Amino acid sequence: MTCSRRSFLKDAVGGTLVSSLPLSAFVFLSNEEAIAAVDEAKVRWAFLVDTTTCTGCGLCVKACKTENEIPYDAPVTRTWVERYVVTKDGQTHIDSPLGGRDGFIDDKIRDEEIDPDNIDKAFFVPKLCNQCDNPACVQVCPVGATYQTHDGVVLIDRNWCIGCGYCIMACPYGVRFFHPTAKVADKCNFCYHRISQGMQPACVECCSFGARRLANLNDPDDPVTKIIKTERVAVLKDEYGTKPHVFYIGLDEAVR
Amino acid sequence: MKWHVLRPLWVAIGLVGSILVARVFLVPDDFGINGRNFTYGFHRLSNIQEWKDFPVKYRGREYCVECHEEKVDSLNASPHQPVECENCHGAAVNHPDDPELLPIDRSREHCLRCHAQLNYPHSARDQVPGINNRMHMRRRDCAECHNPHSPAEEKQ
């Protein structure tokens, strides 16, 4: 067998090109699959919280627990409301009894009476899953039970979760918890069953003050997206690099 | 001559083989990289549909108005217009079939969620008309005097 230099070079270049093609380059998408892929890219769910209008009624927490079948009296919740009271001596008093499920009807904070004349500012901050672009909770899952969907929502496969709790430790926002009856990790998913059929999440629907709103970031005509894009909004714990997608209006420095 | 390494080697190969066979049966067909990459998209594809099929409980005002039109109209005409029906009446779920009756929350604590005065300057709570819980009609339910569907006017 002979091999000229010319044919050797030709075959080597050709072979390299062919072997560098990924296998997926040969996959033909059906029409439905191609349409589905494009449609999915049209949606990127995000959330807008207006802390200046939240009154701390806690009806969002109540609605969330009912809608998502979270045991009502267990000290776990997918969303919660925190109360911040900054006093003139520079102290910040924070509480969230039962996640704010029963609202804030008493001015005592952790059994501590606070003199109204001593208050500089006070406000309520609703919290929920940030549906991060780089979700730390998904990276640490050892079994592939939690994942990010095409529309940006992070879901948990209840049949696949082994309950190891790595994700609960990994989330910088503390939104994950161990579901007391399903015996798996659980967290807010923007009411995925509602938003995927055009409804609003339960907490958004039950908010009387417009403090919670859902946005589709890939839709430039979405009024909430316009607010996120054009007004001054902030995210929680930006320094973690998780790229959270819950945006806050009027976020105070005291909020952690 | 027998080589002493061979026997444990067969056991090891057998173990690996049985795991590979068991994997074929235990791992669902749709399990794999279904998202943007291995790190974030390694999962069982049918789980997305399972979450979409989760039952809806809060139906919203559009569901209530189908039967209770005048009630919804009276609410819409009142300052309580932004309050959802189900905030006080409970989640509709499949009402009127299941549950037949919705439990109405008429408790004082329920009203106080918004109407308890906390004396927080510049807070949203301060914008809502509120009462001092320790002074105003203690141990009475608000609904005894105030009509939640038109709170501006008092009964008698």
Q: What percent of chain B has pLDDT over 70?
A: 97
- Contact B113/A at CB under 8 A: yes
Tens-digit pLDDT profile for residues A150-176: 999 999 999 999 999 999 999 999 999
Inform me whether the pLDDT recorded for A3 exceeds 90: no
Kindly list the distances between the CA atom of residue A177 and the CA atoms of A67, A74, A244, B5, B47, in Å, as whole numbers in the listed order. 17, 11, 18, 49, 20
For the segment(s) A136-186, the CATH number from 3.30.540.10, 3.40.640.10, 3.40.50.620, 3.30.70.20 is 3.30.70.20
Q: Where are the domains of chain A?
A: 136-186
Among A120, A154, A122, A108, residue whose Cα is nearest residue A135: A154
Inform me whether the pLDDT recorded for B78 exceeds 70: yes
Inform me whether the pLDDT recorded for A94 exceeds 70: yes
Are B124 and A66 in contact (CB < 8 Å)? no
Cβ atoms of A45 and A152 within 8 Å: the answer is yes
- Which pLDDT does position B4 carry in this prediction? 83
Q: How confident is the model over A123-128, as a mean pLDDT? A: 96
Inform me whether the pLDDT recorded for A35 exceeds 70: no
Question: Reduced to 3 states, what is the DSSP secondary structure of residue A17?
Answer: helix
Can you tell me the distance from the alpha carbon of A145 to that of A155, in angstroms, rounded to the nearest whole number?
8
Query: Which residues, in sequence order, are CB contacts of A6 under 8 Å at separation 6+?
Result: none
Amino acid code (one letter) for A212 = R
Structure tokens at B108: 């004082």
DSSP count for chain B of H helices, then E strands: 8, 2
Q: How confident is the model over A190-200, as a mean pLDDT? A: 96
Instruction: Kindly report the nearest CA distance between residue B39 and chain A, in angstroms.
Output: 6
Structure tokens at A231: 């007004």
Q: How confident is the model at residue A57 (pLDDT cuts 50, 70, 90)?
A: very high
Q: How confident is the model over A59-64, as a mean pLDDT? A: 97
Q: How confident is the model over B92-119, as a mean pLDDT? A: 94
Q: Which of A48-52, B87-91, B113-117, B135-139 has the lowest mean pLDDT?
A: B135-139
Q: How confident is the model at residue B150 (pLDDT cuts 50, 70, 90)?
A: confident
Q: Which residues of B touch A120 (CB under 8 A)?
A: 121
- Which pLDDT does position A149 carry in this prediction? 94
Inform me whether the pLDDT recorded for B22 exceeds 90: yes
β-sheet bridge partners, residue B116: B131
Cβ atoms of A178 and A76 within 8 Å: the answer is yes
Q: Other CB atoms closer than 10 Å to residue B26's CB: what's the count?
A: 9
- Which pLDDT does position A32 carry in this prediction? 64
Quick one: B131 exposed, middle or buried, by C-beta within 10 A (0-12, 13-18, 19+)?
middle
Q: Which residues of A touch B75 (CB under 8 A)?
A: none
Question: Residue for token digits 């004396």?
Answer: B119
Structure tokens at B22: 């068991």
The residue count of chain B comes to: 156
